[in-house]
Amino acid sequence: MRVLIYDTTLRDGAQGESVYFSVDDKLRIVKKLDALGLDYIEGGWPGSNPKDFEFYQAAAKLKLKNAKLSAFGSTRRANNLPLEDKILNDLLATQTPVVTIFGKSWDFHASEVLKVTLAENLQMIEDSVSYLRQNNREVIFDAEHFFDGFKANPDYAIETLKAAARGGANTIVICDTNGGTLPLEAVEIFNRVKAEISLPIGVHFHNDSGTAVASSVMSVQAGAAQVQGTFNGYGERCGNANLSSIIPTLILKLGYETKIGPNLTSLTETSRFISELTNLQHDERQPYVGASAFAHKAGTHHDAIIKNSLTLEHVRPEQVGNTRRFLLSDQAGRSTILKKVKEILPETKKNDPQVIQLTNQLKELENLGYQFEAAEASFDLIIKKAFNLYEKAFNLEGFRIIVEKRGDQPVFSEATIKVAVGEQREITAAEGNGPVNALDCAIRKALLRFYPEISDINLIDYKVRVLEEKRGTAAKVRVLIQSSDGRRSWGTVGVSEDIIEASWSALVDSIEYGILNKNSVPKEEEDEPLMHTNSR
């Protein structure tokens, strides 16, 4: 049994409250999802904003191994010929191999929202699909509001699907756009559709009733060929069906085949990576991928798990790349850390003193607020430091930042820094469009004569997350920095109650990692388009 997984995190997920992706965020997520083994990745609606056009231009240069990139839009406008319709032509301009368009399948929406007759709506669907197919695109038709439409007028709802089929759609997806359909009812309607439509049928559920994952899984069991959703359940209102739960359920519980299967151990990492780039707190109580999913407190549960993990775990955490945690125990996380250490030192053993010390250090850092899912460079440096695999590139002797505001003029920032490289000392100053940018410019200026290669290193993204909201301006913050030397990119992290100190920690890791790996260019990251943003 095989099912295709369609991700719409970058489009439908981005419509969720507080969710925002830069172009570079989107490119990084596409690469991550492709590596995981997704079949389809929906990147955005190119007609809705300039950023999505910019994304598709950059994404065209990506060398995807598993996924097909899809552009999203709607059927043609009423009274437009397909050839003259801007929405359809914008979709074709993205040059994606797949185009997904939605059309109205609820008669109420056709008449009250589009203000067209029911016959005109059917023609709009058929014409739009046909035009895209004539331009050699794989076309997925999303029947918007299908479940509500079916409940109101089942015959007409089915006719909208048949119109898409006449136009040549490759796949038809029935959508519970309002998220109010319960699982048994959803499956009953799915079976009615399957009896009428011979094309592959997919499903797309929103989570307004808290049942989107259940409805998605049950629909696949009923024969759905494609399931759509978002990672971490992001989406407008209550979100979309959560692929972080759907994927392992289909593979581990029901035995479905997907390209993700061999890479399932990367699921937790992928979920957390997307949380970090979204700059939202990762939901640690998520099934499968949350830190609490396999957490056990000391006592009888602890004892039972030690004897046999099946006593209190429905799957093994390592199957989804997660870690069993014994709260208030010294055993949490060592296996995961050992796996990372072995990438550098293959002969390392689990009980090596350095591994034990590193485990304790990382637990302390985690308690302070550090997360390394999107800061792999900082994690790499911590490992190398623990095993004495490199010497610090420089030492800070001090820095000072001046931030000045005069009248209506923009805020002025200047940083002065003193560093030592071996026995040599450098003192320099630089201006910036903010205190962090000024500090970034100053440290690069100070180190340039010692390490000319840092002239190629650019800060391409900068995110700040408040970790203790109730403490207001005294709260601890986590700073996540993404850097690039034009050939590869890497993430670093810093945590402090002072945003400048947190930023400094992340900046230092960024530069040291760039110096240490100046000649290292991973094959999979060659020619990756990097979208540069201003420092803060």
DSSP symbols for 323-343: --EETT-S-TTHHHHHHHHHH
CA–CA gap between residue 469 and residue 294 (Å, rounded): 26
Instruction: Choose among 261, 209, 219: nearest CA to 240.
Output: 209
CA–CA gap between residue 15 and residue 45 (Å, rounded): 11
Identity of the highest mean pLDDT range in 46-55, 82-91, 405-414, 426-435: 82-91
Q: Could you give the dihedral angle defined by the CA atoms of residues 452, 454, 456 and 457, in that order, rounded to the nearest 10 degrees?
A: 180
pLDDT digits (tens, 9 = 90+) for 49-94: 788 999 999 999 999 999 999 999 999 999 999 999 999 999 999 9
pLDDT band at 338 (very low <50, low <70, confident <90, very high): confident
Sign of CA dihedral 30, 34, 35, 36: positive
Q: Dig out the tokens for 116 from the structure.
A: 């067209």
pLDDT at 22 over 50: yes
Whole-number average pLDDT of the chain? 89
pLDDT band at 274 (very low <50, low <70, confident <90, very high): very high
Lowest mean pLDDT among 6-10, 298-302, 339-343: 298-302
Lowest mean pLDDT among 217-221, 432-436, 471-475: 471-475
Task: Provide the pLDDT for residue 303.
Answer: 57
CA–CA gap between residue 497 and residue 174 (Å, rounded): 48
pLDDT at 301 over 80: no
Task: Provide the pLDDT for residue 312.
Answer: 67
Task: Provide the pLDDT for residue 281.
Answer: 81
Intra-chain end-to-end CA distance of the chain, in Å: 49
pTM for this one? 0.71
Instruction: Choose among 133, 2, 7: nearest CA to 64.
Output: 7
Q: Which CATH number fits domain 395-525: 3.80.10.10, 3.30.565.10, 3.30.160.270, 3.40.50.720?
A: 3.30.160.270
Task: Provide the pLDDT for residue 528.
Answer: 40
Map 50-80 to HEC letters: HHHHHHHHHHCCCCCCCCEEEEEEECCCCCC
Strands 4-7 and 40-42: parallel
pLDDT at 474 over 80: no
Sign of CA dihedral 166, 140, 50, 135: negative
Residue with tokens 């402090």: 496
CA–CA gap between residue 428 and residue 416 (Å, rounded): 6
pLDDT digits (tens, 9 = 90+) for 145-164: 999 999 999 999 999 999 99
Residue with tokens 């099946």: 310
CA–CA gap between residue 536 and residue 529 (Å, rounded): 22
Q: Could you give the dihedral angle defined by the CA atoms of residues 200, 206, 209 and 215, in that order, rounded to the nearest 10 degrees?
A: 20
Q: What DSSP element (H or E) covers 173?
A: strand 171-176
Burial of 488 (0-12, 13-18, 19+ CB in 10 A): middle
Strands 395-404 and 477-484: unpaired
Task: Provide the pLDDT for residue 307.
Answer: 59
CA–CA gap between residue 234 and residue 63 (Å, rounded): 26
pLDDT band at 309 (very low <50, low <70, confident <90, very high): low
> What is the phi/psi pair of residue 307, to 5°?
-75, -40
Lowest mean pLDDT among 120-134, 153-167, 289-303, 319-333: 319-333
Domain chopping of the chain, boundaries: 4-278, 395-525
Task: Provide the pLDDT for residue 311.
Answer: 64
Residues 201-207 have a mean pLDDT of 98
Task: Provide the pLDDT for residue 93.
Answer: 96
> What fold is seen in the domain 4-278?
TIM Barrel (3.20.20)
CA–CA gap between residue 157 and residue 516 (Å, rounded): 60
Outline where DSSP puts E strands in 210-291. Answer: 226-229
Q: For residues 53 and 304, which has the higher predicted lDDT (pLDDT)? A: 53
